[in-house]
Chains A and B, each alone.
Chain A
Amino acid sequence: MDIAILKRVQERNDTDASDIRRLLDSRGIRMVNVMGGAGSGKTSLLERLMLQFGRELRCGVLEGDITTDYDALRIAALGVPVAQLQTEGSCHLDAALVHRGLGVLPLSDLDIIFVENVGNLVCPAQFDIGEHIRIAVLSVMEGDDKPAKYPLMFSRATIAVLSKCDLIDHTDFDISAASRFIRTVNASAPIIETGIGLPGDAELAHWLAGRPNEDEDEIRERFATTA
């Protein structure tokens, strides 16, 4: 006997993610999902952003890792509220785990929450965790062809960050090639070049602080399930 179902595979995760967005919207908090490969400079970028924001925006951080709390300790050293999420082997964060993490952050004292996803260019892109903004980080060490190899990550990014651009002279990374690959799958995400001593950090901070929360329909549209 044939039974028609037609259900989204990720329905449960998407429902949890919508609940998170509703919770954050009710408190006027925006959440940023920071994704990128292992060693792409996500934690360093967050450390520099915390300094950029200073007292302007009250930040909180959820650090996602398979194991260890090294990243959380780095953020805590800046006096920023942080919780470590350990996936215990899983290659990505999901909405349920992020929801538990939000439970230990002082939400009433925060304007913006950064979630550093597990270092991986494939799996984290598959899961909505209730964020408003998705940042895909690609370091110049990794090669300019990565957006072509991991298109889902870059197609879903709200902002693409090229990191470690201060070291670009030591690599053969071609920014225009990387940008063209990103544009193939993403017409609108700003592409921001960051690195120590470069103006990109301030540009990114300004962009994050200035962007109003998207509403649920806009978020849904980007996660549209129809091809």
Chain B
Amino acid sequence: MHEFSLAHSILEIVLDSARQNRATRVRTVDCRIGAMRQIVPSYLSTAFEACSQQSLAEGADLIVDTVPARLDCQACSHSGDMTEITFQCPSCGSTRIELRGGTTMDVTSITIDQEESNGHRHLEESAGAQRY
């Protein structure tokens, strides 16, 4: 359920940037989220879809890039990245492992449509779509 409040924070960041760049519409939003965060990407997308309604980001695709956690096995010395958290070494099956990191949560970029420089405005804006 934390996905909803995180989606709201993402929306704030997206709309700030969209306004600064004179966007008429946000098409995609890229995020990097750590595997340890226990964020369900589909819940996050649904939450974003709900809270971005009637804003510049309505209908934008939220794309989540999962950042792995780091695994170190004390039994077989295997080290590697883990995007799905389990408490077992993928190499030897031992539970004597350490998991670190994977807590990133960033908005990395957005793709927008921009106001045309000759002053013509896109339909959404002239129609007075509500903005945040």
Contacts and interface: CB of A to CB of B under 8 A. Distances in A.
Nearest to B114: A1
Contact of B107 (A2, A7, A126): A7
B8 to A, nearest CB: 10
A7 B14 CA distance: 10
Nearest to A177: B95
Which range holds the interface residue count of chain B? 35 or more
Nearest to A226: B104
Contacts of B69: 227
Interface stretch (B34-42, B53-61, B120-128): B34-42
Interface in B12-37: 12-14, 17-18, 21, 31, 34, 36-37
B17 A13 contact: no
A7 B31 CA distance: 9
A148 interface: yes
A151 B13 contact: no
Interface string B89-100: 000000111111
Of the listed residues A7, A122, A152, A227, the one surrounded by the most CB atoms of chain B closer than 10 A to its CB is A227
Nearest to B21: A3
A227 B68 contact: yes
A3 B112 contact: yes
B132 interface: no
Contacts of A78: none
A94 interface: yes
Contacts of A67: none
Contacts of B9: 9-13
A6 interface: yes
Contact of B36 (A2, A8, A152): A152
B67 A227 contact: yes
A123 B2 CA distance: 5
A12 B37 contact: no
A7 B20 CA distance: 15
A3 B5 CA distance: 23
Nearest to A91: B1
Given A13-B9, A126-B37, A151 B106 contact: no
Contacts of B107: 5-7, 9
A150 B69 CA distance: 14
B75 to A, nearest CB: 12
Contacts of B45: none
Given A1-B111, A126-B37, A227 B102 contact: yes
Contacts of A150: 38
A104 B110 CA distance: 41
Nearest to A148: B87
Contacts of B34: 227
B112 A10 contact: no
Given A5-B109, A12-B9, A227-B104, 20 more contacts: A1-B112, A3-B109, A3-B111, A4-B108, A5-B13, A7-B106, A9-B13, A9-B106, A10-B105, A11-B13, A122-B1, A151-B38, A152-B37, A152-B103, A184-B97, A184-B99, A224-B103, A226-B101, A227-B101, A227-B102
7 closest residue pairs by CB, A with B? A123-B2, A227-B101, A9-B105, A91-B1, A227-B67, A148-B87, A227-B104
